[in-house]
Amino acid sequence: MIVVLIPLRMGIGCGFSSTGILVNNAVPAYLLGSANGLAMTASSISRTLAPLVAGSAFAWSISKGYKHGFPLDEHFAFMLLSIVCFLAVLLSCTLPKRLNMRPSAPVKV
């Protein structure tokens, strides 16, 4: 169990930290509060809806999907989640290089 949980927790920590850094590098300093609030809102909404959608897709696939064959049988929810993860990787590869550095604009106080 430890072999599974340690990389999982490390991945979650690295994922949230890198997302926060990207959000902070994407906006000027005077919009940081709004951008972080919007990012947290989107994160909370997606963390709420993801189990609902994945659970419903899995429940449908094991109750009625077997009639339709392979893509829609009990593998449907896992294939759906794999497609979402693949799209996230593709989108992350298209991020601009300017997000690697903090914008050098003066801070308005």
For residue 80, give every residue at least 6 positions away whose Cβ sits within 8 Å of its Cβ, in sequence order, or none: 54, 57
Question: Does 22 reside within a domain?
Answer: yes
From CA 66, how far away is CA 73, in angstroms rounded? 4
Residue 106: which pLDDT band, with cuts at 50, 70 and 90? Answer: low
Backbone φ, ψ for residue 94 (5° rounding): -100, 5
From CA 23, how far away is CA 30, in angstroms rounded? 13
Question: Does 85 reside within a domain?
Answer: yes
Reading phi first (left if > 0) and then psi (alpha if -120 to 50, else beta), residue 69 is in left
pLDDT of residue 7: 93
CB 33 within 8 A of CB 106: no
Expressed as residue numbers, the domain containing 64 is 1-98
Question: Does 77 reside within a domain?
Answer: yes
Question: Does 108 reside within a domain?
Answer: no
Question: Does 105 reside within a domain?
Answer: no
Question: Does 31 reside within a domain?
Answer: yes
Question: Does 66 reside within a domain?
Answer: yes
Q: What is the largest CA-CA distance in the chain?
A: 63
pLDDT of residue 66: 66
Tally of domains in the chain: 1
Tens-digit pLDDT profile for residues 52-78: 988 888 888 888 766 776 777 778 888
Question: Does 53 reside within a domain?
Answer: yes
